[in-house]
Amino acid sequence: MSFGGRSGFHAGSKKSLVFLLKFLSDLVPFEPPQYLKVHILHPPFVPLKHRSLLMEYVSLAKTRLADLQESVEEMGLYEDVSAAGASLQSQAAQDVEKAVCLFESSSRIPAAVMEASIFRRPYFLTRFLPALLKPRALPLQADAQMNFIEALKQAEKIPAAQYSQYVESCQKRRQQSGSPRRPGAPLAVLQEQLQEFTELLAAGRDPESLAQLSRISHTLSVVFPGSDDPVGPATAPSLPELHLKVVDLILQSFCQSLLVASRGNPPNRQSLWGSRFVCVLLDNRQVLSGVIHRLKGLFHQQAASLRPAHILGLAAFIVHLQAAQPGPVPVAEALGSAVLSSSRTSMLFSVRLAVAAVSYGLCRGHSASPQRLQDFVPRSLYKKLLYLVPRLFPEARIRPEGQGGDGPTGGHLGDGLALLWSFTDGISWTETVLHLWRHAAFQQLQQLQLYQLCFSEWLHEELRVQRNSDVLSDAERQQYQQWACWELYLPRPEEQGGCGGDPRALCSRLLTAVMEPPPSREMNLENLEFSPGPSGTGTCLPDLLSRLQELVYEAEVGDLWGRRVGLGDFLLRVVSERCSVSSGSVSSRLSLQRTIEAWNRVLLVLPPVMFFKIKAEAGRSVVDCSQLLQHITQLQRKACPPAGLLPCAVTVHLLKGLLFAAGQCGRPAAEVDRVWSLMSASCPLLLVSAVRWWQQLSPVLVSLWTRLQDAEPFPEQLQLLSACRLWACSLRAGPVLVQIPPGPVLVQAASLHGAFRGRAEHQQNFREVLDGLREAENQQVLVSLLFLFVTDFLSELLDPQEKSSGRSIWFCSELLAVLVNSADWLLLFKSNEPDLEPDPVTLTVSDDCSRLMPWALCSLLQQQSAAVHQRALRCPGFLHSATLWYLEALRLFLDGEAPASARQVEPTRVLDCTKQFVLSLIRQAPAAALSCSQWRQLETRCVDLDPELAATLSVHLDHPAVGFL
């Protein structure tokens, strides 16, 4: 390779260069392959203008190597061409040995290795790296080969997947073959290293202690080789016995080191040993994951058994984690959120840990600005103190004289050291807590927005407290909550997390909090989930409901908001805003249902009259409940089951409110009748629910009316409702049909529905009732009754286990046999027609139920007799309606929303039967049965969903009569 330099004789003479290359070319047939490879990889220096001559020789040499089936890329890095040809595997092993020796002597990656990683990647990746990364039992002390591998990894020359596989294989090799030392060697070595670290720290030998941390880091990498694992798995695993012992040893060593380092110097004068110690753990994410899970277990299960020294050490550990700020979510915040405060034991532990952490953080950041203190004081533990200290210590609720608000009190930062040591030495921790609470630095930190405990967070914490294990008695808890709501958060400005003096904001946030479902988990940190412990039962929800009641009664009695504002309307708007976000998904509908159920529980503890306003109209007082009726129609209806009923308790509660409000008007009975008539058209759900639950409602309402209006008779509309109920029950008892009492059509239909639904033993009486109601004036009653029974039939399709399952279809068939000749019943099931004003009875079911009605009708029609089908064909508009029902049912099936019932026929069977029925209707129908626009509308809708049906419809479109129409 000496002729490869620029100073060679051939480099300056073309004649010499030509001679050299011709000489080499003549030798190609006789050269050994190793020499040809050297000439190709290390060619002689050739000026740029004569480069073509060299390329001719290189091409000739490569052709010769191809004939000999030799590869240039497979040539070793340090191959001895004078020696006999070695195998590829042995050559790669020799290259590894040579490269490791060169790296050990120079502490740099050899140039040949770097060049091969770039220009000879096939050999580097397929030969050199596999020989270098051959699995073996790694020694505890890193050798030259391990250091070389680590250097290549840092230079990004080793693929991550290949390196991870190497580490796993080495770990398996260690487990299979066993370490040459005793099984407890890693733990024993780590224990010795940690003990030596503590001794170096006590002696004040900081440089040596930092070097010792590097050795500890290597030992941890041997025990926990999976350094690229995430912080934690989806569920907290049970650590292996060795890992658990190592984690306990790490935490114990940190606590001991803290005590040793603090004997001579306070935290603000200590070296950076704590930060370096924590950084060692952060470099190995598997170690960090094990430490986090272990701390979580200690906080949840062994908090009461931890000694003050342990608490102090763990608090300092969390502070150093806070300063390190690893990842997008600080680990310290996750650990702080894992500290529970739901019982007496957990509250006392939380206060001790938070006091230690905040005190240590303030000492460490003694010279930092309030903004910089965020690096030393975990927000979650600071907020724990803001919540727990006033709760546990009534004297902390009193502001010292001269403090105008939440500003700082006296004291200087050096006093934080006394807090720390008094806590450690077991001196009264109550004095420590109060001293810290009144400390200037502690109060100054509260001025930062991130360190403010807002009212919503306070409510969240309060709802997690278990009443049966609370440190406060019922009376003490009531006193504390009243102080927090009315004295602390109501006057506090909104920018500081309060309500700004507005009782509306206080009421809104209280209502939102009590409607929240019990929390299922606290924090998710890269798949690491912290559960809160309590399941939500036995919480302080009744206490906060009492606070909401107190606020409502105070506003009502004092008329703080004025009658025009309406506290009830305000609460209804809050609930409406909370339910306004809906995506239409199943989870969204379930969330809406849970919200409405939670609101109904709140509704029942509030005075019902607050939802009825009294206003002056035409010189007299009238009841205004438009917002309530709108709330029932728009929200309560969506959360009702397919049966379309409000809960009995909600129904009686709202009707009591109506009687209370009407009693404040000049003519109470007339006002009840007026509102009842309004409900028949705008809120039929409340009307039908009153009919359904009248047996339970009647004694309550009659007694209340008697107390409110001693001499005045019961309102006429309520008397008619009672008469309709008695009439319907009498029809069920005997075949004699008495005259139908006057009243709203919906009340009459709902009374009949309530009397006969689910009662198969009265089927003969029901036939006689239908015979007696065939007159035209009773047609709408039967139509509304059909809708109510079809709703029951749909409920049975959705829930085959229902007690009355299978009975509603008989009532539907009997009603259909009576109404099939009339087009009135078809109008009830045209929910998708935007131009039609909905019938009141259709507003008793949810939108989801209305969307599923076509499937119920298709299931109902396919079980009818041929005679009913023939009569239906003669009904005006039936062909158009039946085709639309089939298309809507087909769309429900394609969207995966068709009801699947075990006792009913399969969904495909329902669609096939309905399709054949519709096809037969179309073939039998004359062209003039529908207008041209109706035929075209049906064909347009069928093109994408059912081409066969569309083709059948197109035959009618080609008929001359259709074109004329």
Report yes or no: 800 and 901 within 8 Å, Cβ to Cβ.
Answer: yes
Q: Is the pLDDT of residue 159 over 70?
A: yes
Round to whole Å and give the CA distance between 947 and 475.
Answer: 73
**Beta-carbon neighbour count of residue 188 at 10 Å?**
12
Round to whole Å and give the CA distance between 678 and 109.
Answer: 89
Average pLDDT over residues 176-187: 56
Closest CA to 665 of 718, 708, 607: 708
pTM for the whole thing? 0.72
Check residue 582 and give its pLDDT. 58
Least confidently predicted of 2-6, 216-220, 675-679: 2-6
Residue 731, class by beta-carbon neighbours within 10 Å (0-12 exposed, 13-18 middle, 19+ buried)? buried
Q: Is the pLDDT of residue 681 over 70?
A: yes
Report yes or no: 384 and 318 within 8 Å, Cβ to Cβ.
Answer: no
DSSP structure class, residue 438: T
* pLDDT higher at 143 or 125: 125
Round to whole Å and give the CA distance between 863 and 660.
Answer: 49
Max mean pLDDT range (414-418, 582-586, 752-756) = 752-756
Report yes or no: 449 and 322 within 8 Å, Cβ to Cβ.
Answer: no
Q: Which H or E run includes 620?
A: strand 620-624
Q: How confident is the model at residue 532 (pLDDT cuts 50, 70, 90)?
A: very low
SS3 17: helix
* Ramachandran angles phi, psi of 776, nearest 5°: -65, -35
Q: What does the block give as tokens for 816?
A: 């259909």
Least confidently predicted of 48-62, 142-156, 189-203, 520-534: 520-534
Round to whole Å and give the CA distance between 170 and 165.
Answer: 9
Check residue 941 and give its pLDDT. 83
Round to whole Å and give the CA distance between 632 and 651.
Answer: 11
| Model pLDDT for residues 42-101, shown as the tens digit of each residue | 667 676 666 676 777 777 776 776 666 666 555 667 765 555 444 556 778 888 888 889
Q: Is the pLDDT of residue 491 over 90?
A: yes
The residue to which tokens 């000492």 are assigned: 363
